[in-house]
Amino acid sequence: MTKAMDDGFGVFRRTATDEEVDAEQVLRNLECAKWKSWPNEGAFDALEKQYDSVHLTVKGSIPTWAAGTLFRTGPGQSAVENTSRGTHFVSHWFDGFAHTHRFDIIASRDGSSGISVVYSSRGQAEEYVAMVQKYGWRTGVSFGQKSDPCVGIFGKFMSMFLPQKLNNNVAVIRNMPGLESNNARQIGHRSEPDNMYITTDNSSLQKVDPRTLEPLGSAKQQQLHPKLKGPLSCAHAQRDPVTGDIFNFNVDLGIAATYRVFRVNAESGTTDILATISEQELPAAYIHSFFLTENYVILCVPSSHFGWNGLKILWERNLLDAIQPFDNTARCKWLVVDRRHGRGVVARFSTPASFFFHSVNAFEEKLKGDNGKEVTNIYLDQVEYVNTDIMYMLYYDILMNRNEEAVEDMEKHEKHRTTQPKLVRYKFALLALSQSCKGEYSLTAERVFAIPGPHAGEMPIINPSRAGKSHKYVYGVCSRGVGFWMDAIVKTNIETRDALIWSGPIGHTPGEPVFVPRPGSTDEDDGVILTIVLDGSAQTSYLLCLDAKSLEELGRAETNFPIPLGLHGIHTPICEEATRY
């Protein structure tokens, strides 16, 4: 990694020959605590204020074809004051109280005066905060809230019988079928989603008004189908880009976990169970995403197994403490589920023990085998970690280095080495049904490549037109080790392994990139990248628009207040007809 890329800002071009030296430089930067000079408190600190129709200052030129609405959601408020037990502090970033953001990117009617941007935001966990205010501790199951020793066993037991409130803060689904009509409605010159839901890693959904961001109540997957009664699910549902059908899975807990893979039909609103899997060798696990190809749903059960087959969650009252210590011998188990012909599980295989949050994409390749018969290869791309340490690095105390906790964690456990992501591709040859559908996982997938950070990053996205198809480019947020969490945007060419890395000035921390394609273009990287950047020194933020080809800045819309990094979002274009789903 060059000193300019370490200390300067701009766009830096790196090649495959730079991967090893750049990855080592990231570790050196972390070890010498270079990140202490990178202010990021505004990215994770408490956010309580809500905003309504704030006109942002636009600089540069945001293309008019990128007009639409960018929705973002994620953790906001991280402390509740004046509760019955004093100030309640949220322990883990993923448990920050949900806050949703809306950026309206508006082109002038005649196109002569460019783009204006209007921002609004709304908290989504007001009832949850009120419960904390009343009881002084969280009453539901959290992701990683540390136990309050003052509450004790009795308080923990009683919390199981208190009302459970939602704190969904991970991903946004628009036009969700099955729960209500999903026909888009026209409002003025804009096309709004008919409905919008916020998800997390359980089976409840938070309904939100897409215009006002007002929380409108909750729904459960069991409303889609009576068998979807398990408490766990996947925050990142997958959508068929052609039909709009929604795919997900539901996990019920017991002596043996039961996984139910399902599809919600966008046209009829009905739900079909595609596969029900309950096997002693398939434990309940924390799973944040999965894969969808033209013909299959592919579920990877990583090495993030819950104790007591998931029942430990009920005792610990959080997911993180219920996860067993990482076992290098516990291989990842994969299931390939037919989504076209009702054949259920058609293949099983395994890969070495690891963990991942995010799938990138998956696609099929059909070839003629040596015997003249057609062979199907499935390619699966994900952002992979060597173990589950990354989840334990995301406590607020570590992210913000309170009481030198980040330094202590690195020195004692060297987690900076185990929490570096790699962009990994697996290839699996789908055999005949009789050969690949046995109950064991003896078949294995081939690892095609593994690209380390900072040449690859987290929160991965591709051009949405390539979903379920082969792709060339992946965008994400990466770490050069100069910020403690992510500090740059990376564009990875998986064919050449070249990388473009955008870095802002010191303390400018970007969030998840969102790809907006140029209408009508066939070039995979012809579009713009939208991301929210925090200026940690000024405690302000801006919506940044980058050229997706070069990562050069085109324009920005500035606030005079900080916006937390958040987790995930979607862009809704004004013209929805071609991109309805």
Write out the binding residues for Fe cation. Answer: 236, 288, 358, 568
d(CA 48, CA 122): 9
Residues marked as binding?
A: 236, 288, 358, 568
Q: Which two tokens mark 269?
A: 């609103």
Residue 546 half-sphere exposure toward CB, CA atoms < 13 A:
30
Reported as type and span, the H/E element at residue 25 is helix 19-31
d(CA 531, CA 461): 12
d(CA 21, CA 25): 6
d(CA 342, CA 7): 55
d(CA 473, CA 480): 20
d(CA 37, CA 51): 30
Q: What does each C-alpha distance from 288 to 202, 360, 379, 416 come to in angstroms?
A: 10, 12, 19, 22
Q: Which two tokens mark 87?
A: 């100030």
Q: Residue 52 class from Cβ within 10 Å (0-12 exposed, 13-18 middle, 19+ buried)?
A: exposed
Q: Residue 238 in contact with residue 292, Cβ under 8 Å?
A: yes
Q: Which two tokens mark 95?
A: 């448990």
Q: What does each C-alpha distance from 569 to 30, 70, 116, 305 come to in angstroms?
A: 29, 7, 20, 28
Residue 160 — φ and ψ, nearest 5°? -65, -20
d(CA 557, CA 60): 9
Neighbours of 260 (CB within 10 A): 22
d(CA 508, CA 477): 12
Which residues lie across from 382 on neighbouring strands?
Answer: 359, 424
Q: Which two tokens mark 308?
A: 């007591």
